[in-house]
Structure formats: C-alpha cells, structure tokens
Amino acid sequence: MRIFFKAIGVLLLLTFIVLSVQTFEAASLLHELRFFIGKPHIFIMLVIMYGFAFILRAYAWRLYLGNRITVREGLYGLLYSLLVNHISPVKAGDAVRVAVVTKKERISFAEAAQSVVVLRVLDFVVLGSFGAVGLFLMFGKFALNAAFIVSAIIMAAAGLLLLNRIAPKFLKAQISQLRAAVWGWRGIFILLLTAGSWVLEAFVVFGVARTIPFLQALWVNSVTIAGQVFQFTPGGVGTYETVMTFALKALGMSTAKAYECALLSHGFKFLFSYAAGAIVLLVYPIQLTSFLRQKRKGETFGWKK
C-alpha cells in the first residue's frame, strides 16, 4: 500500500513537471500577483477565512477531548502540524500535533493520538462527501461515486476485522473512547465544525480563481485536499497543483488559468503556514528540531523536563 501511494505521488509530481514546462508563464503569473497586491482587502479576507478554518478545527478537537484542552492549545497544535507538513517531506505534522497538546500532561499520548486519527478520518469523510456530491451534481457520475464508496467501506470493514483479530482489547478500548467522544449532540457539533472548517478553507480557491461559483470552489478544494494523501514532498508540492489543475479543467477552465490558480492558492497556503508557524514558535515554543531529529531516527518523542 505504501509503495502504491508513493507511485501515485511520483506520477502526480511528474505530471506537474510536464504541466510546468508546457504552461508556466512568468509574465501571466506576475500579472495575477499584481492583482492581489493591488487589492489587499482580498488577501486579508483569505487570511481571515483560512485562519478561522483552523479555529473551528481546534474547537472540534477540544470538544472531542472533553474540553481537557483549550481552543488555543488545539490551535497551536494544528498550526505546528501545518508548519511541519510544509517543511518536511515526511508527513510528521500529526505527530507534532499530538506532542503539542500533551505538553501540559492533561492528555495522555494515547488519547491525543487516537483523537488525531479519528478527526483525520472525519476530515476525509467530509471531504469525500463534498467531492462525491459535487461529482454527482455537476457531472452525474453516480456510478463512479458508488463504486468508490463501496470499495472504501469494504476496505474499512476488512481493516476492522483484521484489527479485531490481532488486538481485540485495543480495538474495543478505541471504539469505547470514540463512542464516548462523539455520541449525541457533541458528535453532531464536531461534525458540523469540521464541515464548516473545510467550507471556510474553500474561500482560498474561490478568492484566487474568481471566475467560478463558490460551490464549485468548495468541490475543487475538497478534491485537491483529498488528493494530498499521496503527498511525499514538503507541503505536497506537485500533488496539490496537479489535482487542482485537473479539477478546475473539469469545470471548463483553461489549463494555463487552472495551473496559475493552483500555484497561487498553494503559494498562499505556504506563506500562511510559515507566518503562522513563526508566530506559534514564539508564543508557544516546543523542541521542534529535537522532535524532528528523533522522528528521523525512529525514536519516541518525550518532553524535556
């Protein structure tokens, strides 16, 4: 499975290189950049929308952990994760996210790790739902959606059966914790917060593309982020641009314009991740370099007293 994901990632990166050779025009890209420089209110709006997306995710994380972390701590964890995923070819961001919220030792490492896994799964459920509904509404490809959904259900069921056979006590404990965290209105609120966060993030695509309706921008963003499962470069460079370019082309946009939108939206997210990361490094420092060094060696990260 790991080889399969890397192979797809390499294919997407090679496609990005071909797209760049065929369509990259510095003058056209500079023209688009000048547009944003000349209209700073659009840039500020995108920063606010994208920033609030992380606040909603932090609030959802706080609810999942039974209010034992603050929204601020959750936000720090998410922004550290974003920074690491944009500087490291290895997706170590979620591990850093766990380390951040266990710094004050109110949450165990196992609880934090389980919460990150569940919320990641929830992210992909929401993104997959947005993507599937968008495909059906815009292209009527229900059969493709149904096949994908059925395949995903079969794979998930097989994985659960295998885990139940290998570690039944562990699986039972995880299911019990999951049920306690998302049962009832709290679970519904967590789902709504997660969905709302991805709706807010879609404003980045909407603001950069400018010529497509917001619902189409939401679909493009959902498909693009879902495609990041094949990431193997810092920030998913190549993967992000390729998937977004083809998603925008499917909506009728020219290849050159779609490629520029992908570059600009990804560039915005890189800029945001570095700026937000620099801020959290100052206000909530952790031994990030120590962690990354241990991660490369395969060691377990522990806080220095």
Three-class DSSP labels, 257-291: HHHHHHHHHHHHHHHHHHHHHHHHHHHCCCCHHHH
Per DSSP, helices labelled H in the chain are: 2-23, 26-38, 40-64, 71-85, 93-101, 109-139, 142-166, 168-182, 185-209, 214-226, 239-250, 255-283, 288-297
For 305, the 3-state DSSP assignment is coil
Residue 271's pLDDT band (boundaries 50, 70, 90)?
Answer: very high
Average pLDDT value for residue range 267-282 = 94
CA distance 243 to 21: 17
pLDDT score for 180: 60
Q: Is the pLDDT of residue 181 over 50?
A: yes
pLDDT score for 60: 95
Render 143-171 in DSSP notation, one character per residue: HHHHHHHHHHHHHHHHHHHHHHHH-HHHH
In this structure, of 122-131, 168-177, 184-193, the range with the lowest mean pLDDT score is 168-177
Q: Tens digit of pLDDT for each residue in 226-262?
A: 888 888 888 889 999 999 999 999 899 999 999 999 9
In this structure, of 26-30, 124-128, 170-174, 283-287, the range with the lowest mean pLDDT score is 170-174
**pLDDT more than 70, % of the chain:** 79
CA distance 264 to 209: 9
Question: CB–CB of 279/301 below 8 Å?
Answer: no
Assign residue 88 a region: left if phi > 0, alpha if psi is -120 to 50, beta otherwise?
beta
Average pLDDT value for residue range 161-173 = 66
Q: Is the pLDDT of residue 173 over 80?
A: no
> What distances in angstroms separate CA 14 from CA 8, 11, 238, 273, 300, one per listed residue?
10, 5, 8, 25, 34
Question: CB–CB of 245/255 below 8 Å?
Answer: yes
In this structure, of 51-55, 153-157, 182-186, the range with the lowest mean pLDDT score is 153-157
pLDDT score for 31: 85
pTM as predicted: 0.83
pLDDT score for 164: 65
Q: Tens digit of pLDDT for each residue in 7-49?
A: 888 888 899 999 999 988 888 888 888 888 888 888 999 999 9
| Better-scored residue on pLDDT, 182 or 88 | 88
Which distant-in-sequence residues (6+ apart) come within 8 Å of 281 by Cβ? 83, 288
Q: What is the CA radius of gyration of the chain?
A: 20
Q: Is the pLDDT of residue 122 over 80?
A: yes
DSSP state of 300: P
Question: CB–CB of 12/243 below 8 Å?
Answer: yes
For residues 183-200, b (16+ Cβ closer than 10 Å) or e, as one string? eeebbeebeebbbbbbbb
State residue 287 phi and psi, 5-degree precision.
Answer: -80, 70
Q: Is the pLDDT of residue 275 over 50?
A: yes
Q: Is the pLDDT of residue 143 over 50?
A: no
| Better-scored residue on pLDDT, 267 or 144 | 267
pLDDT score for 246: 92
In this structure, of 57-71, 164-178, 240-254, 279-293, the range with the lowest mean pLDDT score is 164-178
CA distance 141 to 125: 19
Q: Tens digit of pLDDT for each residue in 60-117?
A: 999 999 888 999 999 999 999 999 999 877 677 888 888 888 877 788 888 888 889 8
Q: Is the pLDDT of residue 293 over 70?
A: no
CA distance 199 to 190: 14
